[in-house]
């Protein structure tokens, strides 16, 4: 079964062929945003594929149009909801974009609050700033 690893958290999961990176993220409880629900309309699932780019479905013209609206687009940028794993032996390594993680935390304020509380509770630490403030 293909493997997907999400960086920098190091979360890893095995998923069936045909699974999208966004679906893998949801299965692994990783933090890829999905404001449009995975219908290629928002770019909040923007990720960088560090390994396994060739093992994913090709980007459609629509995906490339949406990616043009994302922040800090690179040669290995993909939309997580449109990138489906095609090889059973694939290992896909994904770096979640800052934009995507912020979108995820905007969508899950309870997780943002828990992360903030955990940071504030670290010994010898001043109250932490928001772990990923929405600075858009
Ligand atoms: Fe909106 Fe992927 S979740 S484009």
| CATH superfamily, domain at 3-120 | Beta-grasp domain (3.10.20.30)
3-state secondary structure 21-56: HHHHHHHHCCCCCCCCCCCCCCCCCEEEEEECHHHE
- Give the tens place of pLDDT for each residue, 75-133: 999 999 999 999 999 999 999 999 999 999 999 999 999 999 998 998 877 655 566 55
DSSP summary character for residue 111 = H
Q: Is the CB of 31 under 6 A from ligand 1?
A: no
**Which residues pair with residue 46 across a beta bridge?**
79
Query: How much helix, strand and coil, in percent to the nearest 5, is found in the chain?
Result: 30, 20, 50
Kindly report the pTM of this predicted structure: 0.88
What is the residue with the minimal CA distance to atom 4 of ligand 1?
40
Asked if residue 47 lies in contact with residue 97, where contact means CB atoms within 8 angstroms, the answer is yes
């Amino acid at each position: 079964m293909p493997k997907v690893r999400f960086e920098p958290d190091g979360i890893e999961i095995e998923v069936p062929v045909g699974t999208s990176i966004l679906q893998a993220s949801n299965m692994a409880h990783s933090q890829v945003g999905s404001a449009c629900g995975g219908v290629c309309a928002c770019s909040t699932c923007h990720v960088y594929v560090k390994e396994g780019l060739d093992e994913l479905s090709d980007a459609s013209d629509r995906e490339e149009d949406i990616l043009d609206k994302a922040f800090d687009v690179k040669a290995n940028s993909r939309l997580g909801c449109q990138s489906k794993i095609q090889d059973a032996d694939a290992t896909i390594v994904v770096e979640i974009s800052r934009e995507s993680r912020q979108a995820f935390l905007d969508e899950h304020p309870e997780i943002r609050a828990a992360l903030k509380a955990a940071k504030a509770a670290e010994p010898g630490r001043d109250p932490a700033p928001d772990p990923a403030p929405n600075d858009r």
